[in-house]
Chains A and B, each alone.
Chain A
Amino acid sequence: MLNKPRRYGIRLEKPKNWYQRRINRSTVFTRNGLALEYILLESHQWRDTLTNGFQLPPDILLHEIPEIVLGEYCARGYAFNLQVTANEIIVIDSVPCTVTRYTLTSPNSLTKQGVMYCIPFSRFLTILTYEAESSHYFERSVDEFNEVAHSILVRRKRYRVLPGIRGTVE
C-alpha cells in the first residue's frame, strides 16, 4: 500500500514485484525498465507555470486537464506524434476524475500507449500514468495497472470541486 495522502491525496495498492523509486515529487514503478514501461504517480501545484508561459489554472474544467498536461509533455519534448484516443470522466471512490488514453512516440522513437488518471485536489493535481511500449509491454502489464487504479482511495476532504461538478462529491 502506498499511503502518502499529504503528497498525493490518494492511497493505492502498489504493483507487485515492480521496482519503486522516488524522483523529486513523484513516485515511479517499473518492472522492465523506464524506457519500456512505468507507472508514475506525480503531483503538480496549481498555478505552476507551464512551458508555454501560461499557468495551470485552478478553475479549469475537469475534462480540460489532460489536454493541458499532455500538451506540456509535448512542449517539453517527452512526446511526439501524440494522439488522444479517448478522454472521459469517470467516478473513482465517489469522486469524478478523468481517464485519458493516448498513443505517442517517445524521444527514443518507441511507439507507446498510455493511460492517465487526473484527480484534482485543493492544493495540487494528482496524476497517475501508465505508459508502455505498445506492441508487447502495454498489453502485458495493463491488467496490473488496472488493479492499481481500482485500488485508489481518495482523501475527499482535500478533493477540489471544479466548476460544473458541484454536488457530486459526498
Chain B
Amino acid sequence: MRSPQLKPWAVLLVCWCMVLPLPLSGSKKREVVIQRSDRAAIDARVHEAVEVAGVLLHEEALSEHLNRIVARLVNVPQGTVPPYRILLINGSETNAFSLSDGTVYISLGIFSMIDNDAQLALLLAHEIAHVRLDHHRRFRYELHERAAGSVLFGGDTPYNLRVAMSGFSRSLEKEADSCALRNCIESGYNVWVAKELISTMYSWLKYKEKGYRSSTATHPRFAERYQASKKMLEEIGVDSTSGMVNKQEYYEVLQPHMAHIVRLLRQSNSVRELYKMALRKLDDDVPQPEWYYLRGSLLEHYAPKDSFPVAVYSLTSAFRNDTSNTRSVRDLGWLYLKNGNCDSARVCLERYLAVAPAATDGAIVRFYLERLGE
C-alpha cells in the first residue's frame, strides 16, 4: 500500500492555523484575555513609574474627601476602609484611570472641569466600574501604560495627546458609564447635575484637540455618551431635583489647591479654557474669593486693556472677600501699571510690600516702586 505523502503547503497551512486562529466569518475583533498574574505585573510597573517620576501628591484633606465619596459609592460600613485606593497625581492632564488592583489615579487638572461632589462622584464611579466589572481582563494594556506615561510626564503636548488613549473598548466605556450612573443614583447623588461633566469634558477636548479627539479615540463620542446617559435617566425616571450636589463642601476642600491647579494649567497650554472656566464658575451661585482672583489675574495677564474694568472689579472683590490674599493687591498694581495709572499702581504695590514684606517677588516690586518714584 502506498503511504500518504504530506504536501509541504498543507503542513504549512496547518501550522499557521495553529499559531494564528483564523477569524470566524462575521466575528468581531479578536479579544485578548489578560491573565491575573500579567495584570498584577503591569499594575506594578505603572505604580513604579509613578513612584519614580515623583508626581504623587499627598494632600490629606483632598484625599479624605475623595475617600468619603468612594465609601459612599461602594456603600461600606462606617469606619471600614473601602477596597479602592484613590491617588492624586500632580499634573495638568485632565485624566483619571484605574488599575485592576483597585487603584484609581486622578490628575489634578481634571478638577478644573468638576464643579461639585456629584460630578466628582460620577468620575470616581466610572473608574470604579471598570474595576468592579473586571474590564481589565479585556484591556489593551499597552495603550494604558502609554496613557499613564502621558499623565506623568505632562500630557498636553501633541505627542502625548496622541498616545493618551484609554485601553478599554467603546462598549466597555459605555458599560462603565451606565454602571456609574446607577451607582450614583443608589448613593443619593444628583445624576442630572453630575452628567453635565460629560458635556464640559466634550467642550474642553474639542478645543484642546482641535477636533481630532485623539486622547479619547477609544471612547464613544461625548455627544453620544451625553445622549445615552440622558435617555437612561429619563427611562429610569430620576427626578432632576433630587439627590445631593454638595457644591459648598467641594469648593472648601478644593480652595487651597486652586492656585496650584491654575499654575499647572497656565503652563500647559490651557489658558483659554481656564479663563472660560473662571468665568463659568464665577457665574455660579457660590462664588469664591479665589475665583474672583483667578478671573482678575487672568484678565490682568492676557487682556489688560480690553477688560480693565472687569479685572479691577474682580481683583478688588477678591481682596475684599479675603484680605489674606495679598496677590490680588499685587496684581491690581500690575494692572494699573499696564494701563498707565502710575499713582494707583504705586499705592497698590506699596500696600503689597507692607502686607507681605518677605514676598519672593519683593525685589521686583521694589524695582518698579523705585522707577515709579522717579
Contacts and interface: CB of A to CB of B under 8 A. Distances in A.
B338 A82 contact: no
B363 A88 contact: yes
Interface stretch (B37-45, B66-74, B107-115, B263-271): B263-271
Interface stretch (B4-12, B128-136, B244-252, B299-307): B299-307
A75 B156 contact: yes
A96 B370 CA distance: 13
A166 B340 CA distance: 11
A165 interface: yes
A109 to B, nearest CB: 8
A81 B160 CA distance: 15
B302 A54 contact: yes
Interface string B146-179: 0000000110111110000000000000000000
A35 interface: no
B158 A59 contact: no
Contacts of A52: 269-272
B310 interface: no
B283 interface: no
Contact of B371 (A60, A75, A76, A166): A166
Contacts of A166: 371
A72 B361 CA distance: 22
Contacts of B371: 164-168
Contact of B267 (A60, A75, A165, A167): A75
B136 to A, nearest CB: 28
A127 B160 CA distance: 27
Interface in A53-107: 53-54, 57, 59-61, 63-64, 67, 70-71, 74-77, 80-82, 87-89, 96, 105
A80 B340 CA distance: 36
A10 B153 CA distance: 36
A32 interface: no
22 contacts: A51-B269, A52-B271, A57-B302, A59-B304, A59-B338, A61-B334, A61-B338, A63-B361, A64-B301, A67-B266, A74-B154, A74-B268, A76-B157, A77-B156, A77-B158, A77-B160, A80-B154, A87-B361, A89-B363, A164-B337, A164-B342, A165-B371
Interface of B: 153-154, 156-160, 266-272, 301-302, 304-305, 334, 337-338, 340, 342, 345, 361, 363-364, 367-368, 371-372, 374
